Structure 1
């Protein structure tokens, strides 16, 4: 799944280079876009008392991103387990690799203000598995 946007002035430091925490925010945005793409918007999941909290995140920076450039994030599913899934995010400015990151997230229900990991439903698992990128 691809998600593109233009880097805003507020995303950069005084030198016009992307401030590193924004890559984590953009990974989160790309995750929400992925769920929109598979017709399970996170808003509708929250209405069903389901959230996907972050268990782990990492980002390796390869080249700086600059104000007013367009970034494309390629998001792929690395794996889907019973209650956990991992997404890979690759950031590009045209052909320039800016960063590579990942998120590990849990499938969690909220009942009576209690968080409990729960099994990812089969229909959602199937849609996520369609996005697993097979390394050739």
Structure 2
């Protein structure tokens, strides 16, 4: 199954809408942070990874989610993140959010490993993901 990173997140008042539940776009910030934490758990802190592999980053190109249970101000949720699939220059991340033992959210991202375009440094271009990166998640 590979590396799974778990991250506890305390729900702040600013995360919530007037109904007192987490405003759904805030979850995508949490998922982005969880992906960065997953790479750090694999020994690839983002600030070092960008330099080591001469990439611009790992931008998200697709996402979706399924919400089962709302979270409210004062709750602590646990986000479990893992790489679901590696492709040549992209990869899929799966997040599962728990409130206690209850599954609250399932979310998926597709991200691309990108560097500067060789002919135009103002643009980005996908690159093949190095095998040693993938191996760190086994």
- TM normalised by structure 1 equals 0.89
Unaligned runs of 5+ in 2: none
Q: Is 1:51 paired with 2:57?
A: yes
C-alpha deviation, 1:76, in angstroms? 1.6
Deviation string, structure 1 residues 89-110 (Cα, Å, up to 9, x no partner)? 0111101221100000011112
Distance 1:46 1:113 in 2: 17
Q: Is 1:19 paired with 2:28?
A: no
- 2:129 pairs with one of 92, 116, 120: 120
Q: How do 1:1-136 residues align onto structure 2 when only pairs under 5 Å count?
A: 1-47=5-51, 48-111=54-117, 112-128=121-137, 130=138
Determine if contact 1:76/1:89 at 8 Å carries over to the other structure.
Answer: yes
Distance 2:104 2:28 in 1: 13
- Stretches (4+) displaced over 3 A: none
User: What is the aligned-residue RMSD (CA, Å)?
Assistant: 1.2
- TM normalised by structure 2 equals 0.88
